[in-house]
Structure 1
């Protein structure tokens, strides 16, 4: 059953959805920081970002790794891995507009990798 679900691109769609949630989180955090500095402190907590990155890496390994095994194309995994690397690099930056830009850039690249993976499986 898991193999059928994975073959249908469900993991990639889930990962793209998670990337979308990350985009919403980052944008909402930026708005909340500007409007409600005290409430936004929780959303920009390093723990949330670290847990999110761990989830993204785990889901990326499963979905993109499965794609390499099934369709044999390395490009989706390479693109997704680059996105994960940019996201991880953004965690090393101080909380600022630059961190948000790098995170959004990494999330977008990761979502592209998952979309390429989904398309290659068709």
Structure 2
């Protein structure tokens, strides 16, 4: 039986939400920079990516780290860390479709780590 959204640990819900916002940001940047060239530089500013990654690392470290300490499973933390690494690597790719691809792949992998962390908290892993 599927667990309800309300029973999932708060930090994992926040981290998954942040991952989703990151994915939306990346796709929106690629799609709208051409159409919104007058303000497109704001969406593609390096600071947006760097701050987003810093927030993802802090939230991920806290949620996945406390989860590993609580339930003892390292797989969610390992998968989440892989996702964070892909996101960090995407910062070194020029803006465009490739950057968006690697970032979305990274946030999806990170979200999977948080989902596994939630399942481990609930004893479903």
Alignment of 1:1-122 (within 5 A): 9-122=9-122
Structure 1 runs of 4+ aligned residues shifted over 4 Å read: none
Q: Contact between 1:32 and 1:39, CA under 8 Å: does it hold in 2? A: no
In 2, the alpha carbon distance for the partners of 1:64 and 1:110 equals 10
Q: Which has the higher helix share?
A: 1
Task: Calculate the TM-score normalised by the size of structure 2.
Answer: 0.89
Structure 1, unaligned runs of 5 or more:
1-6
Task: Calculate the TM-score normalised by the size of structure 1.
Answer: 0.91
In 2, the alpha carbon distance for the partners of 1:106 and 1:114 equals 12
Q: CA RMSD in A?
A: 1.2
Deviation of residue 8 (structure 1)?
A: 5.3
Aligned residue pair count: 116
| Larger deviation, residues 37-46 vs 112-121 | 37-46
In 2, the alpha carbon distance for the partners of 1:8 and 1:113 equals 14
In 1, the alpha carbon distance for the partners of 2:100 and 2:27 equals 8
